[in-house]
A and B are shown apart, each in its own frame.
Chain A
Amino acid sequence: MPSAIVVVASKVGLHARPASLLIKAAAAAGVPVTIGRVGEKAVNAASMLSVLALGAKHGESVEITVSDSENADIVLAQLVEIVSTDHDE
């Protein structure tokens, strides 16, 4: 399963707009996507509550994993882009 470690770029952390964008994209992926701190239990990236409850803040690293599928690499690249962009600017 393709996965990537990415630093949260938005000042507010994975919250508000950055969280909404991530969750919409993860839900649209059509395959299970998880997100979590490296080495810790990952959560469903399509669940707003689970992503908020991670409490991932600005500057923290998170690992995103996309289940094996035809477009997994493209989906992963999209999600990495969302998390590594500062949406507050």
Chain B
Amino acid sequence: MTLSGIGVSPGVVVGQIHRIKHAVIDTPVPASPREVFAALDAVATDLEHASQTVSLDVAREVLGAQAMIARDPALVEAIGARLLDDITYPDVRDAITEAFSGFRDALLSIGGYFAERVADLDEIKDRSIAKLSGADSHIASLKTPSIVIASDLTPADTAALDLNFALALVVEKGGPTSHTAIVARGLGIPAIVGCSNILTVDDSAQLLVDGREGTVIVNPSDDDFASRHTRESALRARAAAVSGPGRLSDGTPIPLMANAGNEQDAIAGVAAGAEGIGLFRTELLFLDRQTEPSVDDQVALYLRVFEAMAGRKVILRTLDAGSDKPVPFLNAVTEENPALGVRGWRLTRIANEVLERQLEAVGIAAQQTQADVWVMAPMIDTAQEAAEFANRARAHGIKHVGVMIETPAAALLADKVIAEVDFASLGTNDLTQYVMAADRLDSRLSDLTSTWHPAVLRAIHTAATSATNLSAPIGVCGESASNPQLAAILVGLGVTSLSMAPSAISEVRGYLAGLDRATCVHAASLVLNASSAQEAKDIASKILGD
């Protein structure tokens, strides 16, 4: 069985499970206000004590800050306002929870780093209630090397455990900047957060944790471990040798950016060394909504991502609803061929005002941020569509407008299409399925849906050559950019930047740093004349090396 989550600290290990459970108090907790304040004080003292004994700097700081929260005058005031009389209340759990919830909601609405501190509030609340109920939780410290699994790990947990014995951390909740992620990176051990099914695993199982890929294999084979361990060692050696912005060995800069759907992804991208967001997929903000978000709501959502990337470039893609990403309030009509239907910019034909309001919101958000905001439209087929999009986006004050090149029509006529805009981005996933006329979701056709196919590479070459002639930047934001050899071929074909999953960046950076432009161009010229995807791959391996 294989589980997946977000890999937040790389490394490959195999080991036994050590499960952390938090006591849940589900019976009434009677107490007087004095007892509640004494419990908070006791929790603060515990946290201060833990902060003085813990060996890890990051944990010490977090514990110190938690102790300050437990002693916070505003919190004492909020609890006092709910427990006015000097009596023993039959159950104080709700009063305590409500007192915390005002601050909790405030932090959540700010988002980003601030929202992740909500876990600290929950921790202090739970410990105070546990203290009052007499069920003070003690966590058994690790005695043998183990993989720690939990719903989430709090700073107090990590202080109580002796993490020198932790082989890896895997938690059900949390994001890339959660405490678990920070601690794991501090210890240099693999970690995966947001691994939704990890708590269903049996305690007797062995786990393999691949913290780069975000994969957990339950009861792995020796081969599973050997292959992943070998790859990880090679990657570390190569990635360790190179840092900083993406560039070829001759110094040609190839900006390496991250794909993102929300602020969490953006934060993960920055942590992985991304120079910006090469594809901000806005439809993820629309997918679970029954009605269109208001302009104000959209501005707030976009700003969250922009703020995470202050000072960096963000390429926002307008709504790409339809086909495999239907949006409830837009894609109500069943289409015969959704991949060839009303999707991407074509939505202007049926819901023009939705796109107009999105451009308005993006324009407003772009004015309010220090991020360098570029905007592009998906599924552009013709020069007329490109011109229409460019005019409308510029009317909202958007400075850099571009198009996705993902249909054969747009690639073949790229000289006309890109002439209407400032930049282009190749969506190689869709371009591959449209050039090959093969559904990328149909596993029976998987041999036909390879971006390595020379037919696809020729389409990319045509578009990239047109962009070069127009002096327009042309990036790639499909999965192909995360394959190091294919990334080098794309550069050789004329692509000027690459955007990928954050986890792939260090590997691609390390690979490109070993190649010069002439080698990439030479390899690209040869693969264009291959007759199959396999032959193209073989040629690339031979010229570029592994």
Contact = CB atoms under 8 A, between A and B. Distances in A.
Contacts of A17: 61
Interface string A40-53: 00011011111011
Interface of A: 12-13, 15-17, 19-20, 23-24, 43-44, 46-50, 52-53, 55, 57-59
Interface residues of B, number: 20
B72 A48 contact: yes
Contacts of B310: 58-59
Contacts of A15: 113-114, 117
Contacts of A24: 68
Contacts of A23: 68
A55 B68 CA distance: 17
Contacts of B48: none
Contacts of B370: 59
A20 B103 contact: no
Given A19-B65, A57-B307, 9 more contacts: A17-B61, A23-B68, A48-B68, A49-B69, A49-B72, A50-B72, A53-B106, A55-B114, A59-B310
Contact of B61 (A20, A46, A52, A58): A20
B73 interface: yes
| Top 8 A-B residue pairs of the complex, sorted by shortest distance between their CB atoms | A55-B110, A53-B106, A47-B74, A48-B68, A49-B103, A50-B74, A49-B72, A48-B69
Contacts of A44: 73-74
A68 B64 CA distance: 30
A20 to B, nearest CB: 5
B65 A48 contact: yes
A20 B113 CA distance: 15
B72 A47 contact: yes
**Among A49, A53, A59, which residue has the most Cβ atoms of chain B within 10 A?**
A49
25 contacts: A16-B61, A16-B65, A17-B61, A20-B61, A20-B64, A20-B68, A44-B73, A47-B73, A47-B74, A48-B69, A48-B72, A49-B72, A49-B121, A50-B72, A52-B103, A52-B107, A52-B114, A53-B103, A53-B110, A55-B106, A55-B107, A55-B110, A55-B114, A59-B310, A59-B370
A23 B114 CA distance: 16
A16 B526 CA distance: 53
Contacts of B75: 47, 49
Interface string B362-376: 000000001000000
Contacts of A43: 74
A67 to B, nearest CB: 15
Contacts of B107: 52-53, 55
A25 to B, nearest CB: 12
B425 to A, nearest CB: 28
Contacts of B113: 12-13, 15-16
Contacts of B68: 20, 23-24, 48
Nearest to B67: A48
B491 to A, nearest CB: 31
Contacts of B117: 15, 52
Interface in B52-96: 61, 64-65, 68-69, 72-75
